[in-house]
Amino acid sequence: MAPRKLRFVVHEHHASRVHFDFRLEVRGALKSWAVPKGPSMNPAEKRLAIQVEDHPLEYIDFEGVIPDGEYGAGPVVVWDAGDYTLEKESPDLLEFLLRGKKLKGGFALVRIKGRGKGNEWLLMKRRDEHADSGWKLRSALTARKKKALGT
């Protein structure tokens, strides 16, 4: 029996500071990292990724506006989503293959040792046929999306 496909999502979150929440389905929950600059398809752009609390799997499709006064107030949209294969897992390293619309191929998350509270990681694209040194991140919070969210 083939293993069930694991899913991932990247939420673009316009809180007081715009960031991207990178979430991987791991053992029935969403392991989550806040990536201030967002992921990149360029292997030369290593992105700081701050691990935050796991989110429930049901949150994977969430889009909406977190109300004023609540933590993370502001619009949240799905920037990318798809499934992935976990290739390597240790307490300080995850290697995986993403099959999203924007993010494709090999990536690694590596914990930065001896810094912060141990919650700082680097998200990086591996060098493979999907790598793109000229890649530019484009916002998914388009005017049409904003209107749909009522912002």
Binding site for Mn ion (CB under 5 A): 13, 21
Q: What is the DSSP string of 130-145?
A: T--TT-----S--HHH
Q: How far is the CB of 3 from Mn ion (least distance, A)?
A: 29
Judged by beta carbon, residue 62 or residue 97, the one nearer Mn ion is 62
Q: How far is the CB of 87 from Mn ion (least distance, A)?
A: 26
Q: How far is the CB of 80 from Mn ion (least distance, A)?
A: 15
The tokens for 134 are 């000229």
User: What is the b/e burial string over 76-100, where b = at least 16 CB atoms within 10 angstroms of the residue's CB?
Assistant: bbbbbbbebeeeeeeeeebbbbbeb
Within 10 angstroms of residue 53's Cβ, the number of other Cβ atoms is 8
Q: How far is the CB of 96 from Mn ion (least distance, A)?
A: 21
Judged by beta carbon, residue 116 or residue 128, the one nearer Mn ion is 116
Amino acid at the residue 127: R
Judged by beta carbon, residue 55 or residue 99, the one nearer Mn ion is 55
Judged by beta carbon, residue 26 or residue 97, the one nearer Mn ion is 26
User: By Cβ distance, which residue is nearest to Mn ion?
Assistant: 13
